[in-house]
């Protein structure tokens, strides 16, 4: 059975972590498969939005501690050889670099690595039973998959320190109050709510959406003036795109646009 599933429908690719018997705990094979599918979706012109979720009753329980204890997982002596310490294709970096919008359908608990994966998505929609567990320091490690970069930017320095240093577990409503999730819905409504949001994003001009994401991502690290210049350089090819012409015509004709991603 594939440990990460993919389904593409109406320009939306849904990637599902698929080890429900282990609460989707992460294995090296899952990491490779997830990176592969993220890159495939980013290159696929038919995909405009990527949804990441988990099978069963949890999103992701983090690294598989049973495998780790047996020396089979990330952090084991075998995986930390100097020749293999290359994170360029690791899911957190790939997830950060893809241009397609990413939505986390947080269908249950996300702990450790799972929390970092959730925070790495652009948007998070949580079921009412979802939780984020920053359990790293309780296991003798640190947020190794983007959390030390993401959490302070999402909640501010002081609150990030409190959450990370104490290893807090936050329920869905606490996550909403802190801005860690965009919305909370009842468990039976999660799939439909995420689907509606993804389809709404996918209905817009995909080149413009992807350019917007790139410029917002760059804006996290550059000055206002530099970002304005980069945005202008992104705007010029968009003016020449077929989708720009279609958007203008649809507005003047008072009809929904039909974008092609060209």
pLDDT beyond 70 at 151: yes
pLDDT tens profile 91-150: 889 999 999 999 999 999 999 999 999 999 999 999 999 999 999 989 888 888 899 999
Residues above pLDDT 90, as percent of the chain:
83
- Say what the pLDDT of residue 82 is: 44
Q: Enter the pTM of the model.
A: 0.91
* Reported confidence tier of residue 80, pLDDT bands at 50, 70, 90: very low
Structural domains of the chain, with CATH: 4-202 (3.90.226.10), 206-253 (1.10.12)
User: Which of 5, 11, 42, 41 lies closest to 24 in space, CA to CA?
Assistant: 5
Q: pLDDT band at 220, cuts 50/70/90? A: very high
CA distances from 241 to 66, 223, 238, 247, 258 (A): 51, 28, 5, 10, 13
**What does DSSP assign to residue 77?**
T
């Amino acid at each position: 059975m594939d440990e990460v599933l993919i389904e593409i429908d109406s320009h939306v690719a849904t990637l599902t972590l698929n080890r429900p018997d282990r609460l989707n705990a992460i294995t090296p094979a899952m990491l490779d498969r997830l990176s592969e599918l993220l890159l495939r979706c980013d290159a696929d012109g038919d995909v405009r939005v990527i949804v990441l979720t988990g099978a069963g009753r949890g999103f992701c329980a983090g690294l598989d501690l049973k495998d780790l204890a047996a020396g089979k997982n990330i952090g084991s002596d075998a995986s930390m050889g100097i020749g293999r310490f290359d994170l360029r294709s690791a899911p957190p970096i790939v997830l950060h670099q893809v241009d397609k919008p990413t939505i986390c359908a947080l269908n249950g608990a996300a702990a450790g690595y799972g929390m970092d994966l959730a925070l790495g998505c652009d948007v998070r929609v949580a079921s009412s039973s979802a939780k984020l567990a920053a359990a790293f320091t309780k296991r003798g490690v640190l947020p190794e998959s983007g959390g030390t970069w993401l959490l302070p930017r999402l909640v501010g320095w002081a609150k990030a320190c409190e959450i990370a240093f104490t290893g807090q577990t936050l329920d869905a409503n606490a996550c909403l109050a802190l801005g860690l999730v965009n919305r909370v819905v009842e468990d039976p409504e999660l799939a439909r709510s995420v689907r509606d949001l993804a389809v709404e994003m996918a209905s817009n001009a995909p080149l413009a959406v992807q350019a917007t994401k790139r410029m917002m991502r760059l804006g996290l690290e550059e000055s206002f003036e530099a970002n304005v210049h980069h945005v202008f350089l992104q705007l010029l090819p968009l003016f020449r795109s077929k989708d720009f012409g279609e958007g203008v015509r649809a507005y003047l004709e008072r009809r929904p646009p039909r974008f092609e991603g060209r």
